[in-house]
Amino acid sequence: MTRNGRAAGLLTAAAACLLASACTGTTTGSALPASSESAPAASSSAQADPDVPKVEATPLDAGKYATDPCGLVPGDVLTPLRYTDPGKYVPRGNTLDTEAGPSCRWTIHGEGIGLQMIVGTGNRDRGAGGLAGYYAGYRAGTLIKFLERAPDIEGYPAIYVDISDRRANGNCAIAVGVADDLAIGVQAEGYQGQDDSCGAATQAAAAAIKTLKGA
């Protein structure tokens, strides 16, 4: 597999596990962790977790973009990040790579750099939605080994979350709670370090929230 192809794979496997369920693919990829295997129980316990940041702003409905997650980030945000090709839509499915929810992947060809956005409707429908599902997975200590509060993005609570803290290596995963039962995850892969990877992920997340506010 080429470096670019590997980056694209890394942007999907973890989503079903940590952002969608709770894994990550070391071989296929690592697209944001999903939550936990026993979703309803994990969600209920996480909701009572005082560390889980609540959505104080108006909850956002991402349903309109469940079939168009690529439309969450406009071109005037993607172009400065050097993503010039259209994003690839991946519908929600029943595989490790897709159960977290529908996603969109952008890649910079030939450079092994990628960006993925996941709308966590799969986690929500399984009872492990929102940031609470990530905290539950982290407390369980299975696949989510790293979770840290991030600065709010456009007034909505955010966390860094991954199978390990890979930010210094240029891989940054952010989950933003747009409702208490729904999170949007963004993962930047293949960058040079923490500043550029988390900067790209944050810009994409901020653009998605602005889009949802106007929806």
pLDDT digits (tens, 9 = 90+) for 103-125: 999 999 889 999 999 999 998 98
pTM metric for this prediction:
0.82
Average pLDDT for 132-147: 90
Q: Which residue has the tokens 């199978």?
A: 163
191-195 long-range Cβ contacts below 8 angstroms, 24+ apart: 191/113, 193/167, 193/168, 193/169, 194/167, 194/168, 194/170
Interval 36-49 mean pLDDT: 48
**What are the structural domain ranges in the chain?**
3-36+50-214
pLDDT at 119: 95
Give the tens place of pLDDT for each residue, 60-71.
998 889 999 999
Q: In what order do the strands lie in the sheet with 146-153?
A: 88-90, 103-108, 113-119, 182-189, 172-179, 156-162, 146-153
